[in-house]
Amino acid sequence: MKRVMIKTVNLTKKYGDFTAVKDLNLEVYEGEFFCLLGPNGAGKTTTFLMLLGLTRPTYGSAWIEDCDIIRNPLEARKRVGFVPEVPGLYDDLTARENLTFTAELNGVPKSVREKRIKDLLDKVDLKGWADVKVGKFSRGMKQRLAIADALIKEPKVLMLDEPTAGIDPKGSEEILSLLENLSRKEGITILMSSHLLHHVEKYGDRIAIMKKGEIVATGSISSLVKEENIVEIDLEGVDEALISELNRLDGVKEVERRGNKLIIVAQRDIRREVFDVASKIGKKVISVKLTQSLERIYAKYFREEEIR
């Protein structure tokens, strides 16, 4: 079994009467690409601040690779590289100079510093931009450099807060592919926050959906979508008798009528049973289709305006 690299137990942060994060319980494993999914205000950034020892929890506990973040915040922080939504880079310094400055701050020996910087610039595909001032970089290039900057101390855990915000699709894919390689090939544990469903669905090993500071769903992508099987059935006619019979099927959570089409939400694939029920009642079935989507899970917890 893989080691637990990030663990929280009832981690909570309150600001007066406002609870930003409530009873957060997480376990993120070594080499895992774990995503916190939720809209702005869900508590993702506050979670990162607590895990980084930058804000003290109101109560609860958390560990980074068995290091208690409350008792030993400085030691815990040594194990983590962090990339904020807006990277703290110096525009008037070159990429190499930015990394050199961070290496010095983190006590990276001179004997290995130059090679490590060269390797990191190559890894984030900025080798040809090493001696260009960062002020000339695009948003995506700055974010890739920020990842290199976070990796300079060779952390085992990398946390990223909305790393693709404001970046075009091509740049976003480059960043996410880079993170996937770090996770799969180098065994670095990735904890990333995002509000973008397609990014999480494509790259995440597991996700936790956050709403108003609480985790409302967690698990692998496949396990979550299996909980929401959407069966669409087109018929020549629909009546209440058919809807009533379908609602009685084991695992059916909801039956919605749209003209001569029924949308059935179930906990499993019930296409065969739906077809049998319709045939028994004498309804001619035109088509039966199954869809499984993380979007359906997400929409269950958030209003349409929140998703935007």
- Summarised one tens digit per residue, pLDDT across range 86-134 is 889 999 999 999 999 999 999 999 999 999 999 999 999 999 999 999 9
Per the CB < 8 A criterion, the answer to whether 204 and 32 are in contact is no
Domain 4-222 adopts which CATH fold? Rossmann fold (3.40.50)
- Number of helices (H) and strands (E) in the chain: give both, helices first: 12, 14
Structure tokens at 89: 């880079």
Q: How far, in Å, CA of 273 to CA of 279, rounded?
A: 10
Per the CB < 8 A criterion, the answer to whether 171 and 140 are in contact is yes
Q: How many CA atoms lie within 13 A of 150 on its CB side?
A: 29
- What are the boundaries of each domain within the chain? 4-222, 229-292
pLDDT higher than 60, residue 68: yes
Higher pLDDT, 237 or 117: 117
The position carrying tokens 């194990």 is: 79
Name the pTM for this structure: 0.80
Per the CB < 8 A criterion, the answer to whether 61 and 114 are in contact is no
- Size of the chain, expressed as the number of residues it contains: 308
- Enclosing H/E stretch for 157: strand 157-161
Q: How far apart are the first and last CA of the chain?
A: 38
Query: In the chain, which residue ranges form alpha helices assigned H by DSSP?
Result: 44-51, 73-78, 95-105, 110-123, 139-151, 169-186, 197-203, 221-226, 240-247, 271-281, 294-301, 304-307
Q: How far, in Å, CA of 48 to CA of 161, rounded?
A: 8
Contacts of 129 (CB under 8 A, 6+ apart): 95, 121, 137, 141
Q: What is the pLDDT of residue 227?
A: 66
Per the CB < 8 A criterion, the answer to whether 5 and 29 are in contact is yes
Q: What is the pLDDT of residue 292?
A: 65
Domain 229-292 adopts which CATH fold? Alpha-Beta Plaits (3.30.70)
Q: Using pLDDT thresholds of 50, 70 and 90, give the confidence band for residue 307.
A: very low
